[in-house]
Amino acid sequence: IGGGPLAGRHVVVTSGPTHEPIDPVRYIANRSSGAQGTALAQALVELGAEVTFVTGPAAAPLPDHVRLVQVETAREMADAVQAALPADVAIFAAAVADWHVEGARNQKIKKTPDGAMPALEFAENPDILATVSKLSDGRPSLVIGFAAETEKVVEHATAKRARKGCDWILANDVSDATGIMGGSDNAVTLISDAGAEAWPRMSKKDVARRLAQKIVDAFADETRP
């Protein structure tokens, strides 16, 4: 079994939103559907890769033929990614919450008779992409992040690539008018050492296939004599 240009390569893909609990019945989430992550996993599997798919509670269907790890919070996602390493490639398509609620309650928060509002305090979540990018030991040879931006997309994403220390960033414009978040199309710019390469608007599946092919090419360049 298992042919294809990515046979023998292990790829970790994060996907979906995270849910950060407030109490047992409430949480903080975001609008990520997980569609781009699922498409990526599928495209990589089709090229023969062994994929560990670490996903938050996503609305999109789950990919087939992956090692599936379902998590809820950013902290669980960080632990799951850590446990999934080593990998040749790590792709961070998840929309990870930046903060979790500090001291999430064990019991449902109740309204009080005096009408006082509950106050939430936040604490920072681990930055999974930055952590993996900066590993001195066992860093995947290719670390890829996404950057959802609403303005100055290339500028912000280029700065983000440097800050996070990843190899490639796929920047996408998620300003309201584009309908990308939760939609089936994506318009991305690939930012690497070689500069910024704008891809035409295409389906998330095609973005996934094109990125998977770029990964194949990167390994081919690396092993070419």
Least distance to ligand C5P from the beta carbon of 89, Å?
13
Taking CB under 6 A as the rule, does residue 79 contact ligand C5P?
no
Using CA atoms, how far apart are residues 4 and 149, in angstroms rounded to an integer? 34
**Whether 119 contacts 33, CB under 8 Å:** no
Give the interface segment with ligand C5P, choosing from 1-9, 57-65, 120-128, 194-202 (CB under 6 A): 120-128
- Three-state DSSP class for 35? helix
Residue 180 marked ligand-binding:
no
Using CA atoms, how far apart are residues 70 and 33, in angstroms rounded to an integer? 14
Residue 1 to residues 4, 6, 80, Cα–Cα distance (Å): 10, 13, 27
Residue 128 marked ligand-binding:
yes
Whether 30 is a known active-site residue: answer yes
Which residue in 46, 127, 185, 206 binds ligand C5P (CB under 6 A)?
127
Candidates 100, 140, 154; CA nearest to 124 is: 100
Taking CB under 6 A as the rule, does residue 216 contact ligand C5P?
no
Taking CB under 6 A as the rule, does residue 145 contact ligand C5P?
yes
- Over the window 150 to 169, marking each residue x when it contacts ligand C5P by CB under 6 A and - when it does not, the resulting string is ----------x---------
Return phi, psi of residue 77, to 5°: -65, -40
Residue 214 marked ligand-binding:
no
Binding site for ligand C5P (CB under 6 A): 14, 74, 92, 94, 96, 125-129, 145-147, 160
Which sequence positions are flagged as catalytic?
Answer: 30
